[in-house]
């Protein structure tokens, strides 16, 4: 049963990354980072953050053997 609990924890972390990505790219927060004065590469940095967070969750999950 411990494996089910740990698996659920990592599923929660993956869903948290998804909700964070949706918050950044779909919500009205998008207007803040896409304002004309911001650098052109800011959306790429945000996507890199989402990809890095997903990679980190999956790497920790693999270490636990799930």
pLDDT at 1: 46
pTM (predicted TM-score): 0.74
C-alpha 18/C-alpha 14 separation (Å) is 6
Q: Is 6 exposed, middle or buried (0-12, 13-18, 19+ CB in 10 A)?
A: middle
Tell me the CB-side half-sphere exposure of residue 44, using CA atoms within 13 A.
3
pLDDT at 4: 62
C-alpha 61/C-alpha 46 separation (Å) is 23
In a structure prediction context, what are the per-residue pLDDT tens digits for the chain, which is 66 residues long? Answer: 455 666 667 678 889 899 999 998 998 888 988 899 999 999 999 999 999 999 998 898 888 776
The candidate with the shortest Cα–Cα distance to 17, out of 38, 41, 48, is 48
DSSP 39: -
């Amino acid at each position: 049963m411990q494996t089910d609990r740990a698996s659920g924890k990592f599923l929660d972390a993956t869903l948290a990354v998804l909700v964070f990505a949706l918050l950044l790219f779909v919500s009205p927060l998008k207007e803040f980072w896409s304002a004309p004065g911001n650098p052109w590469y800011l959306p790429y940095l945000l996507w890199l953050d989402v990809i890095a967070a997903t990679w980190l969750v999956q790497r920790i999950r693999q270490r636990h053997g799930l």
